[in-house]
Structure 1
C-alpha cells in the first residue's frame, strides 16, 4: 500500500526531508547536506537517509533551487533572442532604473543573453493586432542555420505587440523547430501575453535560459525515482505557491526561479491558521538567508514585481517574499566607516560557520549563538558536533576590531542581525499599510526560532509561533499546495464602457486554456476551480491593482467598489469620482490535490521529564543558568517560563526572560511576552 507522502525542500545549506505516514499519522523528518553541483543527488541522499522505498511513496512534492542558482551563478546554456527589427537592445535599456539610486558607479548585472546572441527580423504588428509586415520564412531559415552553427541550445522569441496577435511568433517558432528540432524554443505570447515589452521580453528570456536546465534536471530526477520504484508524477513547487507536474515544468521554466522560497510562505500560512490566526508574518531563517512573507485575512500577498537579479523582472505572479542576507552562516564584518555589519556574505554550506569545523574561520551568527550558550554543541540529535573554541576564535576578530570582550562581540553580532531582520519586517508590513501588532510571527527554518522572540519584542508583535519541526517546515509546505496555473491577458478599457457579457467572453477564452492545462496535469473537472481577477487602476495611473471577483463577477458596481476599497487599504487613498479603467484580466486555475490531515495530541507526560540539562546562557548582559528542554518530550499543554532553551533535531528555540511558551494540541510552541 502506498501511504507515504514525501516532501523535500532543497536549500542552500541543507536539503530538508518531511515524511508523513497516512496510515499511522506519524511524521518523521531528516536533513542532509545540499549538493549544488548535482542538485538531484541531495534529494536522493535525503530519501536514502529517511529509509524510504519508492513503491511506498504516494505523493512526492518538492521545492528546488535549481533555477535560482543557475541565474545567480550564470551557469546558463547558450541562448539566443529573436526579436522585431529595432528592438534588439531592450534587455540593455530596461527601465533605466537602478537598485541603488545614489550609487553612480554600481552597474546593473549584464543581460542573460549578450548582444551578439540577439537577432532581429523584419516583422510588424500594430497595437490592434493587424499584421503590417508578415514574416519572411526564408529569412527565418537562414537565421536558424546561423544559430545551428553557433551551437545554440535555447531560443527566446519576443515580437512587439505579440501579446495582441501571436501569429508572427507562431510562424517563426514552427520554422525554428523544423530546422532545429533539438533546440528549446519559447515565445512571449505563450509565456506572458502582456503589454510592456521589457517585462515580457525579460520573462521570456528567463524562461528560455532556464528551459534546458530544468528539463534536464526533472528528467534526471524522474529516471532516478523510477529506479527507486516511484511511478507517480513528481510535483514541483513554483513561484505562485502551487505545484506543476514534471510534464509542465519545461514549458514554464521561469516559474521555478523562486521555487524553494515559496514553500516556506505556504507552510507559514498553514501553521498560522492551525493556531487560529488569519494575519501572520512568516520568518524563514536558514543558513544563508531569511525569507519573509505576509498573510492578511487568510491570503498570502502575491506580486508581479519580482526578480532574481535587479533589472530583469519575471512577470509571473509570485508569492511576495522579501529575502535578505541574514542566516545562521551570515558573516559579521567591519565596514570602511568603522561600523559593525552582518551579511549578506555567508559562509554557506562549505566551509560553513567556524564552529562547523569544515574550514570556516569568519565569525557568523551561528558562532555568536554558540558563544552565548543559546546554541548547544550537539546538532541533529548529536550527529553533528560544534566546536565552541573555534566559534570563540572567530568571534575574537570582531572583539579585537571594536575593543569588545568575546561575549560583547557575540551579542553585538546578533543585535545587528536582528536589526537587519526588523528592517525587513517593517518593509513587508508597515510599508504595505499593515500594523505588525495585528499579526502573529511564525518563526521557522533552522535559525528562525533562535531569533523570533527578539524580533517580536522589537516589532511589538504579540505572538510567536514555532512549528513542531521548524527546520523542515518549508519542506512540509510542499505537501500543502495544489496544482496551480496563472493565466493573463492585456485588456485595456474604460470601466464604464464594458458589460458583464463582454467580460465573460474574454474570461471564457482564458478558462478554456486553463482547463486544457489542468487536464494535462491529470486534474479532473470536479477538482478544478477557476478564479477570476481584474487588474484595475484610476485613469492616468501607471500601476494597477488586482481585484478578485471569484468564479464569476455578479455585479460591475460591486467590482468597482472592491477596487476603491483595495486602493484605500494599499495607498490610504481612493476617489470614487475618478474614472477607472481595466488594464488586464487574470485567471488562476486551481487543481485540488488531497492534503494530509495532521494529528492532534493530548497531554501525555510531565514537563520535568523533558529537561535535558541546565547551562549558562547570555540574556540581558549577563549569563543566566537556564533550563534546556528536549522538544520531543515536552507534553501538550505544557507552559514554559523563560529563560529557557528548547532543542530538537532540526532547530533550537530561545525563550528569553519575560516570555512564556505554551505547547498547543498540534505541538506548536506559542510564545508570548509576559504583561
Structure 2
C-alpha cells in the first residue's frame, strides 16, 4: 500500500467508471498522487478502497469531489424504482407520442418503450391556461383517488406533470401535497420545480428522468456522505453534475437527473483546464477509453453546452449540460466486415470481458488493441506489467479480417487502425466544423487510456498543429472532478419580442432567479463572498424554435449589444443571420456559482534540452499506420523525462496508465507542467 499522505490541504477527486474507479489526489505542495481500483458492485466500496490505495488519511482531506456513472447506468439498464406519472386529463400519452422522430431513417426501427408503463400514467381533471390563469380548478377528489390507486400499486416515485404548469405551479403543488399525504416516503417530483419551461414533451421527459433517479441518487449520496464522515472527513461531499459544476447531497436528492452525464463532463473540464494552462483558449478534448470516445470543444475558454441531450434516444433531459459527442470507438472496439466486404470498426466492443483477443480472456475477435499490438505501438506488457498481452492470439484474431481482404495480418492491422482513426476524426469534425469552427485553430488534448495512442494521427489528418498529452492521461477525468465549483442553473420562461421587452421587468425577473440561486448556495453553506452570478437570455428569431443563450452584463440598461451578440452567435453556429429579422426572448436564466478553493500545480524548472540524452528502456520494431516498413523505434519511460526534454519521432513513450505514440516527423516536448506537447514538421 502507498505510504500515507499527511497534509492538511489534501484535495481529492474520484471518477467512477464501468471498469475502474480513478483517484486523483493533490497535496498542498502541488504533488500529484493517482490510483486505480476496480469498480465494485457497491460503488462506495470502490471509492473507499481507491482512496486507501492512494494512502489518504481522511482527516487531512479538505476537498472531495466525485463523478459517477450511477445515474447514467440506471437509465441505460432501466434499473430504477417503480414510477408513475400524474398528468392533466387528455395528456396521458405525451411521453409515448414524443415528437414522432426516430434515431435513424429505418422506418422499422422502434424507439425504446417509455420509462413509465401506460397503466401507471394517471390523469386528473385540471387546466391552466397559457397565460397562467386557472381555466379549470383541480378536481381534488380525483386527485385523492389517483393517490390511493398509486399506493395500492406500490409506486415508489411519482412525476407530476400538468400542462402549462410552467406559468402557474398552483395545481402541481396541490397534487404534490395530496400525494405526500397519501403516499408517505414516496419521492414526488413536480415539473414546475424541475424544469419550468414550455414544450410539455421535453418537460415531462426531464421530470420523469428526475423522478426515476431521485430515489437512487439521494440514498447513494447520503450514504457516501455518512461513510466518509465515519472515516474522518468533515467537509462537503461534492457531486459533479452534467453542467460542469458540483452539488451537495442535499441538492442531489432533489435534482438527481443532473448527474446523468456526470462522468463525461469531468473529462471535458479537465481538457479545457490543461489547454488553458498551456496557453490555448481554443481546444478540443479527446477522451478515448476501452469502449467509447468522448469529444468536447472549448471556444475562447468557453465549453460548448446544450439544453437538449439524452442517455437513451427519444427521452431528452433538458438540464444544461456540457456538450460531449460520444462514439463507439475504443481500445476494445471490434473490427468487422459488412455485407459488401468493407472493413468497419466498432461500435461493438469486446469490453473488459472477454476483452481483446490478446488479453487471453476467451475473446477471438480482432480489436484496436490487437492491431496495435501487432504493429508494435503497444508493448506486450500493460499497466506496468500487470497485464501481459499474447501476440499469437492477436495475430489469429486479425487473420480473420485479413484473409477475406487478401491482406497479410500486418497490413490488416494497419487498415484496422486507419479505419478507427477515420471514425474518430469524423467525430472531431462533427463537433468543430459542423458548429462553424476550424479545427486548425484549436489544440487537441488527448487523454484516456487509449487516446495518446491515436491522437497524433487525428491531428495530422485534421491539420491541427498542436497536441497536448496530460501527465496522467488515464485518470484525467478524475482530475476534472477537482476543477469545479458548486453550480446551479435556474431558468424561467420569458416570451417577448426583444424590441418590446420591459427592461425593468426583465431585471426584476433576473433578480428573482438570483435570489433562488442564492438560497440554494446558502443551503450548501457557501459564503456570500464566494457567490458569483451569471445572467443569460435565450433568444431566437421570430417563428423559430432553436434558441441561443447569450450572456448578459448587469446592470442591464439596453438590449442592443445583447441582440447584436445573438446575431453574431447565430451566424457562427448555423451559418445564417437575419439582422433585419425580429428577435424573440425565449427564456431567462441565472447561473449561481459557489467558488471552491484551487491549488495550482507546481511548475518545474526547464532543462536545456541540448544537455539531455534520454535512454530508451528498449528498442522495438514498430510498423506505424502510415509507413511501408517497420522502423526501429526507441521506447522511453515517461517518468524519466524531465521538463524541457525534447524527443524526435518516431518513438514510443510508456507510462503506467497509457502509451503515447510519437510518429515520424513529429516532435514531443515536455513542458513545465509535465504535459507532452506534440508538434509536426510542415
Fold conserved (TM > 0.5)?
A: yes
Q: Following TM superposition, by how much is the alpha carbon of 1:237 offset from its aligned partner in structure 2, in angstroms?
A: 0.6
Distance in 1 between residues matched to 2:355 and 2:533, nearest whole Å: 45
Residue of structure 1 aligned with 2:679, choices 647, 672, 675: 672
Aligned residue for 2:567?
A: 564
Q: Are 2:619 and 1:614 aligned?
A: yes
Distance in 2 between residues matched to 1:554 and 1:278, nearest whole Å: 30
Answer yes or no: is the 8 Å Cα contact 1:365–1:413 preserved in 2. yes
Q: Are 2:81 and 1:74 aligned?
A: no
Distance in 1 between residues matched to 2:349 and 2:154, nearest whole Å: 36
Q: Following TM superposition, by how much is the alpha carbon of 1:402 offset from its aligned partner in structure 2, in angstroms?
A: 2.4
Distance in 2 between residues matched to 1:359 and 1:53, nearest whole Å: 40
Q: Following TM superposition, by how much is the alpha carbon of 1:87 offset from its aligned partner in structure 2, in angstroms?
A: 0.5
Distance in 1 between residues matched to 2:549 and 2:286, nearest whole Å: 26
Q: Are 2:23 and 1:20 aligned?
A: no
1:150-229 to 2 correspondence within 5 Å?
Answer: 150-229=153-232
Q: Following TM superposition, by how much is the alpha carbon of 1:18 offset from its aligned partner in structure 2, in angstroms?
A: 0.8
Q: Are 2:663 and 1:656 aligned?
A: yes
Runs of at least 4 residues off by over 4 Å: 604-607
Distance in 1 between residues matched to 2:273 and 2:402, nearest whole Å: 42
Give CA-to-partner distance per residue, 1:131-177, whole Å, 9 cap, x none. 12222333222222211121111110100000000000001111111
Distance in 2 between residues matched to 1:500 and 1:631, nearest whole Å: 58
Aligned residue for 1:486?
A: 489
Aligned residue for 2:409?
A: 406
Distance in 2 between residues matched to 1:657 and 1:521, nearest whole Å: 53
Aligned residue for 2:586?
A: 583
Q: Following TM superposition, by how much is the alpha carbon of 1:560 offset from its aligned partner in structure 2, in angstroms?
A: 1.5
Aligned residue for 1:418?
A: 421
Q: 1:607 to 1:116 in 2, by over 3 A?
A: farther
Aligned residue for 2:644?
A: 637
Give CA-to-partner distance per residue, 1:33-53, whole Å, 9 cap, x none. 223x33223322311221222
Q: Following TM superposition, by how much is the alpha carbon of 1:370 offset from its aligned partner in structure 2, in angstroms?
A: 1.3
Distance in 2 between residues matched to 1:351 and 1:221, nearest whole Å: 31
- Aligned to 2:520, the other structure's residue is in SS state helix
Q: 1:231 to 1:384 in 2, by over 3 A?
A: farther
After TM superposition, the score normalised by the length of structure 1 is: 0.97
Distance in 2 between residues matched to 1:49 and 1:400, nearest whole Å: 46
Distance in 2 between residues matched to 1:358 and 1:234, nearest whole Å: 38
Distance in 2 between residues matched to 1:126 and 1:283, nearest whole Å: 47
RMSD of aligned C-alpha atoms?
Answer: 1.5
Answer yes or no: is the 8 Å Cα contact 1:281–1:442 preserved in 2. yes
Q: Following TM superposition, by how much is the alpha carbon of 1:557 offset from its aligned partner in structure 2, in angstroms?
A: 1.3
Give CA-to-partner distance per residue, 1:246-290, whole Å, 9 cap, x none. 111121111111000000000010000011111100001111110
Distance in 1 between residues matched to 2:168 and 2:9, nearest whole Å: 48
Q: Following TM superposition, by how much is the alpha carbon of 1:15 offset from its aligned partner in structure 2, in angstroms?
A: 1.8
Unaligned runs of 5+ in 1: none
Distance in 1 between residues matched to 2:628 and 2:347, nearest whole Å: 27
1:336-375 to 2 correspondence within 5 Å?
Answer: 336-375=339-378
Answer yes or no: is the 8 Å Cα contact 2:607–2:644 preserved in 1. no
- Aligned to 2:673, the other structure's residue is in SS state coil
Q: Following TM superposition, by how much is the alpha carbon of 1:525 offset from its aligned partner in structure 2, in angstroms?
A: 1.3
Distance in 1 between residues matched to 2:291 and 2:386, nearest whole Å: 21
Distance in 1 between residues matched to 2:493 and 2:179, nearest whole Å: 27
Answer yes or no: is the 8 Å Cα contact 1:479–1:596 preserved in 2. no
Give CA-to-partner distance per residue, 1:642-662, whole Å, 9 cap, x none. 001001111100000011111
- Aligned to 1:19, the other structure's residue is in SS state strand
Answer yes or no: is the 8 Å Cα contact 2:607–2:645 preserved in 1. no
Answer yes or no: is the 8 Å Cα contact 2:303–2:322 preserved in 1. yes
Aligned residue for 2:4?
A: none
- Aligned to 1:45, the other structure's residue is in SS state helix
- Aligned to 2:206, the other structure's residue is in SS state helix
Q: 1:7 to 1:610 in 2, by over 3 A?
A: farther
Distance in 1 between residues matched to 2:82 and 2:54, nearest whole Å: 38
Residue of structure 2 aligned with 1:33, choices 18, 31, 38: 38
Distance in 1 between residues matched to 2:358 and 2:224, nearest whole Å: 34
Give CA-to-partner distance per residue, 1:55-89, whole Å, 9 cap, x none. 22221111100111111112121100111000011
Distance in 1 between residues matched to 2:529 and 2:438, nearest whole Å: 39
Q: Are 2:107 and 1:98 aligned?
A: no
Q: Are 2:48 and 1:44 aligned?
A: yes
- Aligned to 1:491, the other structure's residue is in SS state strand
Answer yes or no: is the 8 Å Cα contact 1:467–1:668 preserved in 2. yes
Distance in 2 between residues matched to 1:499 and 1:162, nearest whole Å: 23
After TM superposition, the score normalised by the length of structure 2 is: 0.96
Distance in 2 between residues matched to 1:410 and 1:46, nearest whole Å: 36
1:374-385 to 2 correspondence within 5 Å?
Answer: 374-385=377-388
Q: Following TM superposition, by how much is the alpha carbon of 1:537 offset from its aligned partner in structure 2, in angstroms?
A: 1.4
Q: Following TM superposition, by how much is the alpha carbon of 1:551 offset from its aligned partner in structure 2, in angstroms?
A: 4.2
Q: Following TM superposition, by how much is the alpha carbon of 1:13 offset from its aligned partner in structure 2, in angstroms?
A: 2.5
Q: Following TM superposition, by how much is the alpha carbon of 1:500 offset from its aligned partner in structure 2, in angstroms?
A: 2.1
- Aligned to 2:119, the other structure's residue is in SS state helix
Aligned residue for 1:597?
A: 600
Unaligned runs of 5+ in 2: 1-6
Distance in 2 between residues matched to 1:366 and 1:519, nearest whole Å: 49
Give CA-to-partner distance per residue, 1:485-520, whole Å, 9 cap, x none. 001111100112113212111111111111101111
Give CA-to-partner distance per residue, 1:288-326, whole Å, 9 cap, x none. 110000000110011112111111111111101000000
Q: Following TM superposition, by how much is the alpha carbon of 1:609 offset from its aligned partner in structure 2, in angstroms?
A: 4.5
Residue of structure 1 aligned with 2:317, choices 297, 314, 317: 314
- Aligned to 2:71, the other structure's residue is in SS state helix
Q: Are 2:57 and 1:53 aligned?
A: yes
Q: Following TM superposition, by how much is the alpha carbon of 1:395 offset from its aligned partner in structure 2, in angstroms?
A: 2.0
Answer yes or no: is the 8 Å Cα contact 1:80–1:152 preserved in 2. yes
Q: Following TM superposition, by how much is the alpha carbon of 1:470 offset from its aligned partner in structure 2, in angstroms?
A: 0.9
Answer yes or no: is the 8 Å Cα contact 2:238–2:249 preserved in 1. yes
Equivalenced residue count is 672
Aligned residue for 1:283?
A: 286
